[in-house]
Chains A and B, each alone.
With several copies, the nearest count.
Chain A
Amino acid sequence: MTQTDETLSQEETGTEPTATLSAMDRVRLARDPQRPATLDYIGELCSDFVELRGDRSFGDDCALIGGLATFRGRSVMVMGHQGGTNTRENIERNFGMPRPEGFRKARRLMRHAQKFSLPILTFVDTSGADPGISSEERGQATAIAECLMQMIGTRVPIICTVIGEGGSGGALAISLGDRLLMLENAVYAVASPEACAAILWKDASKAAEAAETMRITAADLDRFGIIDELIPEPVPAHEAPRDTIYTVGDRIAAHLDMLCATFDPDDDAGVHDLLDRRYSKFRKIGAWSEAGTEG
Chain B
Amino acid sequence: MRNFFQRQGKFRPLSKGDERSAEQQQIPEDLWVKCPKCGELLYSRELERNARVCPKCSHHFRLSARERISLLADSDSFQEWDSTVSPQDPLKFVDGQGPYDEKIVKTQKKTGETESLITGSARINGRPVVMVVAEFNFLGASMGSVWGEKMARAVERAVEERMPVLTVNASGGARMHEGLFSLMQMAKTIAAFHRLGENRLPHFSLLVDPCYGGVPASYATVADVMIAEPGALIGFAGQRVIEQVTRQKLPEGFQTAEFLLEHGMIDQIVDRGNLRDLISTLIDHYLGAPQGLGSYSANGLRSATELEQTVTVVDTPGPATTTTGGMS
Instruction: Name A residues whose Cβ lies closer than 8 Å to a Cβ of B.
Output: 39, 42-43, 46-60, 62, 65, 67-68, 70, 75, 101, 105, 112, 115-118, 128-129, 131-133, 135-142, 144-146, 148-149, 152-153, 168-169, 172, 175-176, 188-192, 195-196, 199-203, 206, 210, 213-216, 221, 224, 226, 278-279, 282-283, 285-291, 294-295
Contacts and interface: CB of A to CB of B under 8 A. Distances in A.
B93 to A, nearest CB: 6
A60 B185 contact: no
Q: How large, as a class, is the contact surface on chain B?
A: 35 or more
A50 B285 contact: yes
A287 B178 contact: yes
B119 interface: no
Contact of A70 (B193, B265, B285, B302): B285
Interface in B175-195: 176-188, 190-195
18 contacts: A43-B1, A47-B300, A50-B278, A51-B305, A53-B264, A53-B266, A53-B267, A59-B263, A70-B295, A75-B288, A131-B236, A136-B255, A142-B265, A148-B218, A168-B174, A175-B187, A286-B149, A291-B84
Given A116-B200, A132-B245, A224 B176 contact: no
Nearest to A108: B264
Given A115-B200, A144-B217, A289-B85, 13 more contacts: A60-B261, A75-B285, A75-B286, A129-B236, A140-B237, A148-B190, A169-B183, A191-B327, A196-B176, A201-B96, A206-B96, A283-B191, A286-B145
A136 B221 contact: no
Contacts, number: 301
Interface string B191-230: 1111101101010000000000110111111101110000
B285 A287 contact: no
Contacts of B30: none
Contacts of B90: 224, 287
Contacts of A191: 174, 176, 327-328
A215 B91 contact: yes
Contacts of A55: 264
Interface stretch (B35-43, B47-55, B57-65, B246-254): B246-254
Contacts of A47: 2, 295, 297-300
A54 B181 contact: no
B325 A224 contact: no
B242 interface: yes
Interface in B144-183: 145-146, 148-149, 152, 174, 176-183
B313 interface: no
B241 interface: yes
Contacts of B75: none
A153 B188 contact: no
Closest 7 A/B residue pairs (Cβ): A54-B264, A286-B145, A131-B237, A287-B90, A200-B95, A141-B216, A201-B96
Contacts of A54: 226, 261, 263-267
A97 B230 CA distance: 29
B327 A169 contact: yes
Contact of B197 (A115, A141, A145, A278): A115
B267 A52 contact: yes
B190 A190 contact: no
Contacts of A290: 82, 84-86
A145 B219 contact: yes
Contacts of B179: 189-190, 214-216
B67 to A, nearest CB: 25
Contacts of B327: 128, 168-169, 190-191
A131 B2 contact: no
Given A152-B194, A195-B328, A286-B145, A50 B86 contact: no
Contact of B186 (A52, A65, A139, A148): A148
B182 A190 contact: yes
Interface string B56-96: 00000000000000000000000000101111111101111
Nearest to B250: A133
B119 to A, nearest CB: 13
Contacts of B242: 131-133, 136
B29 to A, nearest CB: 28
A224 to B, nearest CB: 7
A145 B267 contact: no
B39 to A, nearest CB: 28
Nearest to A70: B295
Nearest to A190: B183
A153 B260 CA distance: 27
Given A56-B265, A142-B221, A176-B187, A285 B181 contact: yes
A133 B246 contact: yes
A283 B236 contact: no
A290 B183 CA distance: 21
A59 B195 contact: no
A75 B284 contact: yes
Contact of B263 (A51, A132, A138, A148): A138
B182 A132 contact: no
Contacts of A288: 85-88, 145-146, 149
